Amino acid sequence: MMNQSIIFFDIDGTLLNHDKELPLSTKESIFKLKELGHEVAIATGRAPFMFENLRKELEIDTFVSYNGQYVVLKGEVLYTNPLRLSSLEKLTEMALHNNHPVVFMDHEDMKANVPEHTYIKESIATLKIDRFPAHDPNYYKGRKLFQSLLFCPEGEEKQYEEEFSDFDFVRWHPVSVDVLPKGGSKAIGIEKIVEKLAIPKERQYAFGDGLNDMEMLITITNSVAMGNAEEKVKAVARYVTKSVEEDGISHGLQMVGLL
């Protein structure tokens, strides 16, 4: 298709509403885009196994997961950027000393370094997924891990930020922080896909609402912030659509002329 565009969608607060439901108008819009010959992709902080059902429902096989650390194009792994295991081992030792649990995550599963902890239950429950991390303190050994979760109250991640310069720490819950490779982002993962597909900048689109979407929205030429996004997120986007609760995806796609 000569004028094929590619559209990247964040999941939480973008494709899914705050009850983790997919609005009918969003689903219909996704399939309409594909009928028109466009490439539809997901760009999320979630692990691949956390949105497998959504990919099947929307028939999407291209995605950027773990905020850019694990990238798949048409069902094939295109790019990976794992955590430095030696640093992760030291972080885990420090976290154990502080009674801060850690969850190790690869492309297939997630395991906790402690048998159970209130912080893990409290934060994972908000994702409304059908999986919970089992106990395996050695899961990180001999594997490529693309993200970890560090569980601690707000502000207590500062000590880890000061100690571990090869990680980025991104808070997503009052008691949980994403641990990512330094400098990794959705924008880098997206770049790998658009380079491979040779889709020009003027036909690249991205929809998002969160702080981890900001670099993506700054980088992509036709960026759209959801109406439910924070003001600082809206400020960096080229367009602002309605909220996810108000058929924001459908409205936004019409706004930019794709539907």
In SS3 terms, the chain reads as: CCCCCEEEECCECCCECCCCCCCHHHHHHHHHHHHCCCEEEEECCCCHHHCHHHHHHHCCCCEEEHHHCEEEECCEEEEECCCCHHHHHHHHHHHHHCCCCEEEECCCCEEECCCCCHHHHHHHHCCCCCCCCEECCCCCCCCCCCEEEECCCCCCCHHHHHHCCCEEEEEEECCEEEEEECCCCHHHHHHHHHHHHCCCHHHEEEEECCHHHHHHHHHCCEEEECCCCCHHHHHHCCEECCCHHHCHHHHHHHHCCCC
Torsion of CA 93, 161, 87, 48, to 10 degrees: 100
Active site residue 109: no
Task: Locate 225 and state its tokens.
Answer: 């912030």
**Annotated catalytic residue: which of 10, 106, 168, 178?**
10
Let me know: does 9 contact 213? Beta carbons within 8 Å. no
Residues annotated as catalytic are 10
